[in-house]
């Protein structure tokens, strides 16, 4: 690893202040992704600000739902009684990710901040616009290896079928974030200019011309907590993850479903997909179609067709154009117990 | 407000240790080494030892019941601290990227990948390695079960497997073979001793021994 300076902070204020001081400074939480990126020299920090001692690991009931501290470990959230009982989709998604060891280390905030696992991003000898932006500069990141996108005409089996650009077709790798976007979560952040709330669906972004930016955080901002509103989805939730191994692999396709059912009629529904886009991919049009409809295979098929509108394959990932709708139908059947 | 006041009793690598070091060394003081200059020295391979001396930070951590007062570089991982500085070589370096689980240890009772854990983040924590779990004379029930069930071939992944297996039972995730396979998926065995590893864990779990 390249050498870096190390600062340990114990208050969010000191953390925000430390991050704002100089460029090349990164927050260090669980480190499961960042330390790996530093070892591979994809990220070359000047300074790490260790935020592990921040008092932000509380999981608590609020008047409107549940608040999860940004430093809560993935395993602690997945195993929490309130999460298992009221937000089982989140618990299922978390347990589908990584390994038991990594879930003990990884935090909620860190999970949201994790980078893509695109092999071109990870290999500094290969072209990548996310790692090495075309227009390098103070706000645009430092160049690190060649620019371009190796994936668009290269090895793209794991890559996006929605929302890609001519600069980047990487996917966001998180399982947890699929559940959080489906459950209408809100992200509470604190920064040099004060506190603000970001709807989870606006937290991550599509690559466009600036794939180096994964999210909409402003410089110096720290994730404090995530709020999930109360819902009626606990009895009919399912997270389906399709991957190359039975466990401990990133999703080829994942589907998060949360349904409020009355008899066989879908009163309300949330649908989101992972492994398909640069951000957790919410299927709002398919949700809209299914509201008020019966839980039948015919309706699920139509919803899946609607969800696949605008999907585009890049060669090696063309199989996702079939796997994705099939997974949507499968997950809907399981969640509505009509399988 | 200067940086020292700003961070209070928190820790900063550009803080007092560096200043004291500079004060003690007139030769170095003449170089007016800023952190950036020290980093540049390493990048340029000019004097790695010199830069390393400046970058040392204090760390107190309980390793297998012994409080260690150490001085380390911030970039040292817990795995490298254990193996290279404390000579606890039971914990193995496999992939060094959090993919194989050979480096699994317990930090405050939780199993983690020590290769992705910066040692500095374990300040004030209790770390348990395979050396702290049992000894040749007094083996841990899981170590005995791995021998009984032939839960290894080459043995390189075994310390990580055993640390993970103990945690798996403590977490309550060893109730059946399927659950064990799922919750042990972060430990890779290239020899393919998986079936026997599952048998060993089931045996300890069903035997009801205190783990």
How does DSSP assign A93-143, residue by residue?
HHHHSS-HHHHHH-BHHHHHHPPP--HHHH-TTS-BTTTS-SS-BTTTB--
**Mean pLDDT along residues B151-172:** 98
Q: What distance in Å separates residue B14's CA from the closest CA in chain A?
A: 7
CATH at A250: 3.30.390.50
Q: Over range B78-107, report the average pLDDT.
A: 98
pLDDT at A148: 96
- Whether residues B111 and A104 touch (CB distance < 8 A) is answered with yes
Nearest-Cα distance to chain A for B120, in Å, is: 9
Interface touch A4/B186, C-beta < 8 Å: no
**pLDDT band for position B1 (cuts 50, 70, 90):** very low
Q: Is A247 on the interface with B (CB under 8 A)?
A: yes
Across the interface, whether the CB atoms of A32 and B183 are under 8 A apart is answered no
| Burial class (CB within 10 angstroms; exposed 0-12, middle 13-18, buried 19+) of A63 | exposed
The topology (CATH level 3) of B134-207 is: DNA polymerase; domain 1 (1.10.150)
Asked if residues A224 and A67 have their Cβ atoms less than 8 Å apart, the reply is no
Q: How confident is the model at residue B13 (pLDDT cuts 50, 70, 90)?
A: confident
Task: Name, in order, each residue with C-beta under 8 angstroms of A273's C-beta and a sequence gap of 6 or more.
Answer: A178, A253, A254, A255, A256, A280, A281, A283, A307, A324, A327, A328
User: What are the boundaries of each domain within chain B?
Assistant: 3-55, 58-132, 134-207
pTM of the full structure: 0.91
Mean pLDDT, rounded, for B45-69: 80
Residue A106 lies in a domain: no
- Is the model more confident about B22 or about B179? B179
d(CA A15, CA A327): 41
Higher pLDDT, B34 or A32: A32
Residue-wise pLDDT for A292-337, tens only, equals 999 999 999 999 999 999 999 999 999 999 999 999 999 999 999 9
A4 close to B (CB below 8 A): yes
Question: Which of B7, B12, B183 shows the shortest C-beta gap to A100?
Answer: B183
Instruction: Judge whether residue B198 has pLDDT over 90.
Output: yes
Quick one: pLDDT at residue B41?
Answer: 54
Question: Quick one: pLDDT at residue B7?
Answer: 38
Q: Quick check: is A211 in a domain? A: no
Give the confidence band of B32 by pLDDT, cuts at 50, 70, 90: very low
Q: Which CATH number fits domain B58-132: 1.10.260.30, 3.10.20.30, 1.10.3720.10, 3.90.180.10?
A: 3.10.20.30
Asked if A114 is an interface residue toward chain B (Cβ–Cβ < 8 A), one would say no
- B185–A contact, CB cutoff 8 A: yes
The span from the CA of B17 to the CA of A139, in Å, is 33
- Give me the pLDDT at residue B22, please: 38
Quote ipTM for the complex.
0.96
Convert the pLDDT of each residue in A155-181 to its tens digit.
Answer: 999 999 999 999 999 999 999 999 999
How does DSSP classify residue B109?
T
- Residue showing tokens 């497997």: B161
Examine the fold and report which residue of A38, A53, A68 is the final residue of a domain before the chain moves on.
A53
The CA distance from B12 to A49, in Å, is: 9
Q: Cβ separation of A8 and B12 shorter than 8 Å? A: yes
Is it the case that residue B10 has pLDDT exceeding 90?
no
* Domain extent at residue A302: 237-335
For residue A259, being part of any structural domain is answered with yes
Sequence length of chain A is: 339
**Which of chain A's residues have a Cβ under 8 Å away from the Cβ of B125?**
none
| Residues in contact with B156: Cβ distance below 8 Å, sequence separation at least 6, in sequence order | B92, B94, B102
For chain B, the residue count is: 211
Check B7 against A9: CB less than 8 A apart.
yes
Query: How many CB atoms are located within 10 Å of the residue A217 CB?
Result: 17
pLDDT band at B12 (very low <50, low <70, confident <90, very high): confident
Report chain B's mean pLDDT, rounded to a whole number. 85
The CA distance from A169 to the nearest CA of chain B, in Å, is 24
CATH number at residue A34: 3.30.43.10
**For chain B, percent of residues with pLDDT exceeding 90:** 73
For a pLDDT cut of 70, what percent of chain B falls above it? 76
Single out the residue in A13, A29, A53 at which a domain terminates: A53
In terms of CA atoms, which chain A residue is nearest residue B59?
A: A8
Residue of A nearest to B39 (CA): A3
Which of A53, A71, A93 terminates a domain? The answer is A53
Total number of domains in chain A:
2
Q: Which phi and psi angles does B84 have, rounded to 5°?
A: -85, -35
Name the token pair of A108: 């909620």
Per-residue pLDDT in tens (0 to 9) along chain A, 339 residues: 999 999 999 999 999 999 877 789 999 999 999 999 999 999 999 999 999 999 999 999 999 999 999 999 999 999 999 999 999 999 999 999 999 999 999 999 999 999 999 999 999 999 999 999 976 555 555 668 999 999 999 999 999 999 999 999 999 999 999 999 999 999 999 999 999 999 999 999 999 999 999 999 999 999 999 999 999 999 999 999 999 999 999 999 999 999 999 999 999 999 999 999 999 999 999 999 999 999 999 999 999 999 999 999 999 999 999 999 999 999 999 999 998
Q: In the prediction, which pLDDT does A200 show?
A: 98
User: In angstroms, what separates the C-alpha of B81 from chain A's closest C-alpha?
Assistant: 14
Residue B86 pLDDT greater than 80, yes or no: yes
pLDDT value at B2 more than 60: no
Task: List CB contacts (< 8 A) between A1 and chain B.
Answer: 75
- Nearest alpha carbon to residue A328 among A279, A278, A290: A290
Residue in B73, B110, B118 closest to A28 by CB: B118
Each residue's pLDDT tens digit, B125-142: 999 999 999 999 999 999
Distance, CA of A40 to CA of B116 (rounded, Å): 12
Provide the pLDDT for residue B42: 54
């Amino acid at each position: 690893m390249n050498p870096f300076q190390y600062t340990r902070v114990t208050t969010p204020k000191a953390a925000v202040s430390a991050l704002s001081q100089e460029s090349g400074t990164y927050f260090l939480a669980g480190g499961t992704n960042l330390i790996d990126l530093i070892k591979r020299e994809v990220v070359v920090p000047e300074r790490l600000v260790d935020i592990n001692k921040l008092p932000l690991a509380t999981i608590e009931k609020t008047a409107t739902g549940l608040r999860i501290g940004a430093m809560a470990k993935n395993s602690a959230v997945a195993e929490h009684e309130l999460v298992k009982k009221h937000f089982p989709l989140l618990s299922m998604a978390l347990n589908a990710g990584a390994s038991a060891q990594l879930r003990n280390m990884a935090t909620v905030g860190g999970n949201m901040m994790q980078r893509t696992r695109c092999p071109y991003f990870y290999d500094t000898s290969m072209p990548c616009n996310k790692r090495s932006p075309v227009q390098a500069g103070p706000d645009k990141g430092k160049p690190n290896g060649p620019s371009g996108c190796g994936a668009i005409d290269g090895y793209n089996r794991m890559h996006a079928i929605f929302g890609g650009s001519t600069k980047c077709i990487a996917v966001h790798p998180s399982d947890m974030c699929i559940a959080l976007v489906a459950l209408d979560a809100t992200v509470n952040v604190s920064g040099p200019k004060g506190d603000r709330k970001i709807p989870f669906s606006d937290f991550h972004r599509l690559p466009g011309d600036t794939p180096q930016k994964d999210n909409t955080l402003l410089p110096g901002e720290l994730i404090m907590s995530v709020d999930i509103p109360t819902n009626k989805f606990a009895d009919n939730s399912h997270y389906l993850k399709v991957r190359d191994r039975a466990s401990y692999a990133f999703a080829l396709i994942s589907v998060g479903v949360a349904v409020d059912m009355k008899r066989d009629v879908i009163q309300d529904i949330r649908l989101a997909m992972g492994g398909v886009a640069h951000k957790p991919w919410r299927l709002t049009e398919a949700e809209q179609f299914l509201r008020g409809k019966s839980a039948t295979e015919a309706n699920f098929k139509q919803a899946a067709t609607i969800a696949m509108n605008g999907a585009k394959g890049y060669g090696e990932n063309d199989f996702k154009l079939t796997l994705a709708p099939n997974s949507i139908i499968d997950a809907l059947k399981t969640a509505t117990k009509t399988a | 407000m200067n940086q020292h006041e700003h961070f209070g009793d928190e820790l900063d690598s550009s803080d007092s240790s560096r200043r004291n070091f500079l004060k003690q060394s007139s030769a170095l003081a003449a170089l007016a080494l800023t952190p950036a200059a020290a980093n540049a020295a390493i990048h340029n391979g000019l004097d790695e030892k010199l830069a390393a001396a400046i970058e040392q930070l204090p760390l107190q951590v309980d390793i297998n019941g012994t409080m260690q007062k150490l001085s380390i570089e911030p970039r040292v991982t817990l795995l490298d601290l254990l193996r290279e500085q404390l000579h606890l070589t039971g914990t193995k370096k496999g992939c060094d990227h959090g993919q194989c689980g050979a480096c699994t240890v317990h930090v405050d009772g939780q199993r983690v990948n020590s290769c992705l854990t910066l040692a500095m983040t374990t300040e004030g924590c209790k770390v348990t390695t395979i050396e702290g779990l049992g000894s040749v004379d007094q083996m841990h029930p899981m170590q005995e079960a791995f021998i009984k069930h032939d839960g290894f071939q080459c043995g390189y992944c075994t310390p990580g497997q055993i640390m993970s297996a103990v945690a798996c039972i403590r977490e309550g995730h060893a109730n059946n073979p399927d659950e064990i396979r799922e919750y042990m998926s972060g430990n890779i065995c290239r020899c393919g001793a998986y079936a026997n590893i599952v048998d060993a864990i089931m045996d300890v779990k069903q035997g009801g021994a205190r783990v």
